[in-house]
Structure 1
Amino acid sequence: MEEEAGEEPGLGRSTAPRDFHFYHMDLYDSEDRLQLFPGENNRIRREVIEAEDDHELGEEFVDEHRLGAFGYPPYGMKRRDLAREQRDWRLSGEAAEAEDLDYGGQVLAGQCQTLREAYGRASEEYECYVIPEEEDEEEPADVFCITCKTPIRAVEKEFDEHKDHEVTPLNKALENAKDEIHKNMYKLEQQIIEMENFATHLEEVFITVEENFGRQEQNFESRYNEILETLAQKYEEKIQALGKKKKEKLETLYGQLVSCGENLDACKELMETIEEMCHEEKVEFLKDAVAMTDRLGKFLKTKTDVVISTQPEFEDQTLDFSDVEQLMDSINTVPAPSAPVINPQAPNSATGSSVRVCWSLYSDDTVESYQLSYRPVQDNSPGKDQVEFTMTVKETYCSVTNLEPNTQYEFWVIAQNRTGPSPSSEHAVYMTAPSPPIIKSKAIRSCEEAVLICWESGNLNPVDSYTVELTPEETPETSGVTESVVGIPTCESLIQLQPRHSYTIYVRALNVGGTSARSKPAMVHTTGSYFHLNKDTCHPWLTISEDEFTVVRSEKKTLKREPPPGKAQFTRCVAVMGSLIPVRGRHYWEVEVDECLDYTVGVAFDDVPKQEDLGANCMSWCMRHTFTSARHKYEFLHSKTTPDIRVTVAPKKIGILLDYENSKLSFFNVDISQHLYTFSCQLHQFVHPCFSLEKPGCLKIHNGISMPKHVTFF
């Protein structure tokens, strides 16, 4: 029976848990099965292992007749006592044997002494190296209590205060702790990168301000030194001219003063001579008067210059400072700057609506402002006007806003000062970050260990890659932790997750400009497989509910027109497919059925013929139920063949287990935990769940549920 069900060897009832019941295909089987006692087996195995250890450490002192039933010393006997007993026994045997021999007393005594010393050394050596057992030695911890966050022994989980706590193996707890540390390290790395980018930005501003003011200081210092040199030169020239004028005036005045003194002396001499003549005799007076009259007449006829040749006032000297004024003006007059050099776009310098543009200039230039111009990059088709935008900035960088996402823009910059503008820089192309992607919630496929996420780009132009961010449901262990999967080239990604967890998923798009904002969140639960019914494959006689989990067949309708063969829609078979399950692993779902309903459930490849019944070809594996007034009939169909199996208890809910790894498809009666049948499939590609209604009725699909215990053993 088990071979017909396609079960693997080794999956017999002896390895199943006690709460799992097997049923024969035509009769309920007895529950009296061989029971295992794990606790008793463990005790026996522990005794055997400890006995083996005793045998290995003391085998050279233990005789066969002293060993237990298994050939080992009795459990619990101290190694030291056992060795001592063996030593005494062997010594007594040697002594008795020596008495029977014809050896001398001295020889016999020497041999006995030698034996005693040898065995004594061996015993002492044995006693030194044997570590006595400690019956109360504490067993090492082998599990980790998640509730108390501490390592414990497995026995404490069953009998101690940790009985109702959730535990996990130490290795798994260690891996989880490492993962959490790695996630926190990733967050720290992101913060470091952000701070480094901000520090780089501040450094650029600092260098720009320092260079601008440094150039201004050098310019002012140069002009000031030129003005001082010019003024000093003019000072020397004017001082020399004033000295020359002073010398000339003083020499002229001195000459006039000497001439005036000589005339004054001559006048005084004449006056004295005339006074002396007046006191003389008349005859002598008359004689001298005639001569004096001639002399005095000549003296009076000589004109004395009494007009000062130069005035004492300072003559106003006109100073020409025109060249100094030109130098003063040159302080505020600088040459026009050279063309700036626009920098290539830096990574992560853009958002979806803005971009940060940077440029540099030559060190000798003095700049008052910049004119930044830009326009979107378009094709040069005739008749299309490229609109240009210009803005004035003071720094050597600018954040341009109100841009279109995932779009290339052409930038160029011109430097300006009071002298005039510089030539234009070279044109550089910058790109804005993409728009957030759009997650297709209904296209998400999940199982207990993985999820397949699908999304739309949300951008007209291609992007470089995508990043998926997953935030686990808020728990003390995962609070604020976000995992990232980067470098995804397409609009879907298969991600391994922890079972029985809930995640919030976001997707970002990346290009050379930066990262987009997060997409709208989507929830993923790894409690089981999840899929929807595909309306594109639905036969016209079937109706799918709004939530896409229920399929209904009403009374028979007449088709106005048969669908063309070869399309995705079923034509002959009144069936519908579920979404593809493209995630490797184990998938489980349940179908709620009616006992009086004719239905078919199973799986099929994507290209299964839509004009054939399910199970009628090698591309589908199905369970089919037909109901007549006499009995229920169950068939497990593949390539139009079915095994001879009877199911006596009609299931009201059918469990289906799809195992990609082992290429198996199993069916279960959920209500009584009964295994019905297992296909060994050749699953060379992914499959779709499929459902068919041969009479009016309803099938309700339950997915996203955990696998029951009785399913996990198949």
Structure 2
Amino acid sequence: MSSRSGSAGEYETSDQSPSCSASPPVPESSETEAEGLIFYHMDLYGSKERFDIFPEDLSGQGDRSWGDTRREPALSSQKFQRSQEAGYDLEKEVAELAKMYGLDEDREKELELLGGHVENRWPPARTGKAKSQGSIYNASKSISPVKDQSQSTKPQGLPDEASQDEEPSKARAEDEAESCIQSREGLSSGGMSDEWNSQAVSEEEEVADVFCSTCKIPIRAFDKLFGEHKDHEVAQLPSAMESEKEEIHKNMCKLEEQIAQMENFACHLEEIFITVEENFGRQEQNFEVHYNNAVQVLAQKYEEQLEALGEEKRQKLEALYGQLVSCGEHLDTCKELTDATQELYLENDKANFMKAAVAMVDRLEEFLKKEVDLELSMLPDFEKRVIDFSEVEQLMNSINTIPAPCAPVINPQAPNAATGTSLRVCWGLFSDDTVESYQLCYKPVSNETHSDEQAEHTLKVKETYCTITNLLPNTQYEFWVSALNAAGISPPSERAVYVTAPSPPTIKSKKIRSCENAALVCWESRDVNPVDSYTVELSKLTDEEDGDSITESIVGIPNCEVIIHLQPAQSYRICVRALNLGGSSERSDPVLIHTTGTYFCLNEDTAHPLLAILGDGFTIACDELENPECDLPVYDNSFTRCIGILGSLIPFPGKHYWEVEVEEDTEYRIGVAFENTPRHGYLGANNSSWCMRHIITPSRHKYEFLHSGMTPDIRITIPPRRLGVLLDYENCRLSFFNADIAQHLYAFNARFQHYVHPCFALETPGILRIHTGLAVPPWTALP
């Protein structure tokens, strides 16, 4: 049984059936035949028994419906028995076909992809019409029908299992034989039921195992090979699912970003709402103040004008009243004179008349001589007063001008916006107020209780930034700012704390230690306040360059020392910067480090009071062993009995070599010791120090190699004048050499639990000259 999709490749049956032969295919067409598919007859079995299973006398059955192709159970049973008698095993043949086309593997793959929870599309047994129709559908497909058939027959078991359940096995065998007959008839007619087409589609959609990228739907792998998705791009479901999940995750991230942006915008809108309310309140208050001022000025003007008008009225009335009183007095006098004259005129006695008349005439003449003022002293009209409304107009006009600005917003300190003596402060306005200038105030922050007593400084600036100079390094300052315009000054901003950059550190050149591939650099801070971290900058010195260019920077150093890995046989210029929130300090004074060998210094704090360190720093001397009258400084870490001194710690793994130049008549001790070696004892007399001792006896020069007071019996015939010391941390060995003749003297094999110090001591007056920075000689290599 084979099929083609269009005119594409042809699949033949397995050669595992030796009796199988194919007859020439004869295409037959049918209206129910699937579009683009051509079906061919093929005899699966080239034996006589095939005629009993698939009789060729099936004329007219191609036009029959699928329901008419069913045979009676007895006929099917009879044909199946004849096929069994002929030696043909249908179940075995179907299983072989399923194995040949890899359908079992596909089934396992589907179960694995779907987690084993997939509905079995090929039930163990089909009965009735559904069984025969399933077999016919299987025969019309190229690969998936074989898979269905194999899956449907596979659970039935092999023939040796049929005896366990004989009745179900016979029924299944009859159904299989009948299905094969109906499949042959279906291939001859080319017909296919629409019912089973829909069933096949539902089954394929149910167990989709790949994803069609073109159609954006899950499909079966068989649809990619032989279906409508043949030319489409597909991908495995897990990878497609991961890709879709990733795309969904990206979209979700974008949505989250949009949500964050919208939330920020909403917060900004809320702030704007609040600002509008605040501005409205401020503007309303501004209007109220200005209008109240204008009304107050008007009231004052009114009172002043009314008072002036009343004063003028008073003056007029007083003047008129005085004039009226004077006029009344004059009238009274006139009436009195008139009455007296009238009485005199009626006098009949001539003598009395004449006496009184003369006096009366004089009186009248004198009275009439007086001028009577008949002019009004005051007019009834009031003078026109011009009211000055300029101040009121100014107040009214000021209502339409800009109000006083609101408080500015001072910005936090920006990184690297400070030096050791200056700060750059920035601020801004939250609203669109008009500002003519700003008033910046600052003072140093103090941890004391009375911090408000610190002197405040005020600057007037035009811009929204200002650089303040003449400040103290690594010091915190408090800043606040106010805005000014013609209407007034704003409230001060919230206070912000800025800090200046630190001062340049000071490298302790006497405490620098180095070897061929590393260096320990120590420094100290010049600031009272702590800093955040330090940065070490290295410049490799070459013949062509002057070393100003930085070749490497080590940042984020929390303490005042660091071990730096370097390249052997090089020279470096090293500087240190201190950093805090304000920025970086200037570079420290540089120091030179050479990696030709191990460098260390002598620790003066450990020196015995009688031991002197000469000017070069690497020569120790002792003039006398006892001096009770000497007043030399004694430190807590100094040697008190042994006239010795420790060198600085050598904290680098590997090999370290130095030499000591000695005099033949000087007794000494040279070696290494732990930090906690007793200061009241002798070097080599305890388990924390190892040393070579030279003493002079009456008979010879004696050399001892001491540790815990023990020494081996070693005789040295040639006294060394230049003693080499090799400290090997990795091999746990301390070796001594006569450097003049490259002679190995002795080696301590000890496991150093900690790093050690070089140690030196004089037992007689003399001098020891120490030479450091020497490369390890090749002749120091020991087996």
Tell me which amino acid in the other structure corresponds to 1:414: S
* Counterpart residue number, 2:686: 617
Alignment of 1:3-14 (within 5 A): none
- Matched to 1:468, the amino acid is V
Tell me by how many angstroms 1:458 deviates.
0.6
- 2:599 maps to 530
CA distance 1:377–1:576, shift in 2 (3 Å): same
Tell me whether 1:572 sits opposite 2:603 in the alignment: no
Pick one of 542, 559, 568 that aligns with 1:499: 568
Contact kept, 8 Å, 2:512 with 2:601, in 1: the verdict is no
- Aligned to 1:671, the other structure's residue is in SS state coil
Superposed counterparts of 1:428-467, under 5 Å: 428-467=496-535
Q: Give the counterpart of 2:453 among 385, 388, 391.
A: 385
1:517 CA drift (Å):
0.7
Deviation string for 1:373-413 (max 9, x for gaps)? 11111135349721111111111111111111111111011
Q: Is the 8 A contact 1:586 1:660 kept in 2?
A: yes
Q: For 1:61-210, what aligned pairs fall within 5 Å after superposition?
A: none
Pairwise CA distance, 1:534: 2.4
Q: Is the 8 A contact 2:537 2:550 kept in 1?
A: no
How many angstroms does 1:556 deviate by?
3.4
Among 425, 437, 446, the alignment partner of 1:357 is 425
Contact 2:571/2:593 (CA < 8 Å) preserved in 1?
A: yes
Aligned mate of 2:618, from 546, 549, 554: 549
| 1:109 matched residue in structure 2 | none
Look up the SS of the partner of 2:510 in the other structure. Answer: helix
How many angstroms does 1:712 deviate by? Answer: 5.2
Deviation at 1:661, TM superposition (A): 2.6
In 1: Cα distance, 2:657 partner to 2:628 partner? 35
Which residue, 457, 466, 470 being the options, matches 1:402?
Answer: 470
Query: Structure 2 counterpart of 1:454, which letter?
Result: C
Indicate if the aligned counterparts of 2:406 and 2:431 stay in contact, CA closer than 8 A. no
The TM-score normalised by the length of structure 1 is 0.52
Q: CA deviation at 1:546?
A: 2.1
* CA drift at 1:627: 2.3
Q: 1:366 to 1:499 in 2, by over 3 A?
A: same
Question: Deviation digits for residues 562-605 of structure 1, max 9, x if unmatched?
Answer: 99999422222222222222333322110001223221100111
Whether contact under 8 Å (1:345, 1:513) holds in the other structure is yes
Q: CA deviation at 1:686?
A: 2.0
Show structure 1 runs of 4+ deviating over 3 A: 325-332, 474-479, 560-567
1:185-264 mapped onto 2 (5 Å cutoff): none
The number of residue pairs the alignment matches comes to 394
Amino acid at match of 2:531: V
Alignment of structure 1 residues 586-601 onto 2, 5 Å: 586-601=655-670
- Which residue number in structure 2 is paired with residue 336 of structure 1? 404
In structure 1, C-alpha distance between the alignment counterparts of 2:634 and 2:575, rounded to whole Å: 40
Post-superposition shift, 1:456? Answer: 0.8
Tell me the distance in 2 between the aligned counterparts of 1:565 and 1:537. 9
In structure 2, what residue type is equivalent to 1:486? V
Taking a change above 3 Å as real, the CA distance of residues 467 and 341 of structure 1, as seen in their structure-2 partners, is same
Amino acid at match of 2:650: I
With over 3 angstroms needed to count, the CA separation of the structure-2 counterparts of 1:498 and 1:545, relative to structure 1, is same
Match of 2:484 in 1: 416
Is 1:520 the counterpart of 2:589 in the alignment? yes
Aligned pairs for 1:533-682 within 5 A: 533-560=602-629, 567-682=636-751
Distance 1:345 1:639 in 2: 61
Instruction: Measure the CA separation in 1 of the matches of 2:634 and 2:434.
Output: 78
- Aligned partner of 2:436 in structure 1 is 368
Which amino acid is the alignment partner of residue 591 of structure 2? A
C-alpha spacing 1:545/1:326, structure 2 compared with 1 (3 Å): closer
Whether the 8 Å contact between 1:372 and 1:411 is mirrored in structure 2 is: yes
Q: Residue 476 of structure 2 contacts residue 497 of structure 2 at CA under 8 Å; is this kept in 1?
A: yes
Inter-partner Cα distance in structure 2 for 1:501 and 1:682: 31
The Cα shift of 1:327 comes to 13
- Please state how far the C-alpha of 1:460 moved relative to its aligned partner: 0.3
Which amino acid in 1 is paired with 2:637? A
C-alpha spacing 1:332/1:676, structure 2 compared with 1 (3 Å): farther
Following the alignment from structure 2 to structure 1, what is the Cα–Cα distance between the partners of residues 578 and 632? 40
CA distance in structure 2 between the partners assigned to 1:550 and 1:489 by the alignment: 35
Do 1:447 and 1:585's aligned partners in 2 also have CA atoms closer than 8 Å? no
Question: Which has the higher relative contact order, 1 or 2, with Cα contacts under 8 A spaced 6 or more apart?
Answer: 1
| 8 Å contact kept, 1:590–1:656 | yes
| CA deviations over 1:488-512 (Å, ceiling 9, x no partner) | 1111111111111111111111111
Contact 1:354 1:432 in 2 (8 A): yes
Q: Which residue does the alignment assign to 2:768?
A: 699
Could you tell me whether the CA contact under 8 Å between 2:657 and 2:774 is conserved in 1? yes
Conservation of the 8 A alpha-carbon contact between 1:352 and 1:405: yes
Q: How far did 1:358 drift?
A: 1.0
Q: Considering only aligned residues, what root-mean-square deviation do their CA atoms show, in Å?
A: 3.0
Distance 1:481 1:533, change over 3 A: closer
> In the TM superposition, what whole-angstrom CA distance separates every residue of 1:294-324 from its partner, at most 9, and x where no partner exists?
xxxxxxxxxxxxxxxxxxxxxxxxxxxx9xx
Task: Tell me the amino acid that sits aligned with residue 368 of structure 1.
Answer: E
| Partner Cα separation in structure 1 for residue 627 and residue 409 of structure 2 | 75
Matched to 1:616, the amino acid is: A
Q: Deviations over 1:473-497 (max 9, x none)?
A: 1345888343111111111111111
Q: Is the 8 A contact 1:563 1:571 kept in 2?
A: no
Q: How does 1:273-352 map to 2 (within 5 A)?
A: 333-352=401-420
Cα distance in structure 1, aligned partners of 2:763 and 2:395: 105
Counterpart of 1:480 in structure 2 is 549
- Residues 527-574 of structure 1 show CA distances to partners (whole Å, capped at 9, x for unaligned) of 122222222222233222122211112233233599999942222222
CA distance in 1, matches of 2:633, 2:468: 55
Q: Take 2:609 and 2:487, find their aligned partners in 1: how far apart are those partners?
A: 81
What stretches of structure 2 of length at least 5 have no aligned partner? 1-389
Amino acid paired to 1:360: G
Corresponding residue number in structure 2 for 1:684: 753
Spell out, residue by residue over 1:405-451, the C-alpha distance to the aligned partner (whole angstroms, 9 max, x if none). 11111101111111111111111111111111111110111111111
Amino acid corresponding to residue 687 of structure 2 in structure 1: C
C-alpha distance in structure 2 between counterparts of 1:435 and 1:568, whole Å: 31
Q: Which residue of 2 aligns with 1:31?
A: none
SS at match of 1:378: coil
Give how far 1:609 is off: 1.4
Deviations for 1:311-356, whole angstroms, at most 9, x for unmatched residues?
xxxxxxxxxxx9xx99996799312111111111111111101111
Q: Report the equivalent of 1:238.
A: none
| Counterpart-to-counterpart distance in 2, 1:343 and 1:435 | 25
| Aligned amino acid, residue 512 of structure 2 | I
Deviation at 1:672, TM superposition (A): 1.0
1: CA distance, partners of 2:535 / 2:399: 56
Q: Give the counterpart letter for 1:506 in structure 2.
A: C
Q: 1:564 & 1:620 partners in 2: Cα distance?
A: 25
Structure 1 SS opposite 2:466: strand
What code does the residue aligned with 1:641 have?
M
TM-score, scaled to structure 2: 0.48
For the pair shown, the structure with the greater C-alpha radius of gyration is: 2
SS in 1 for 2:453: coil
Mapped partners of 2:755, 2:473: distance in 1: 37
Amino acid at match of 1:645: I
Q: Distance in 2 between matches of 1:416 and 1:599?
A: 81
Letter paired with 1:598: E
SS at match of 1:536: helix
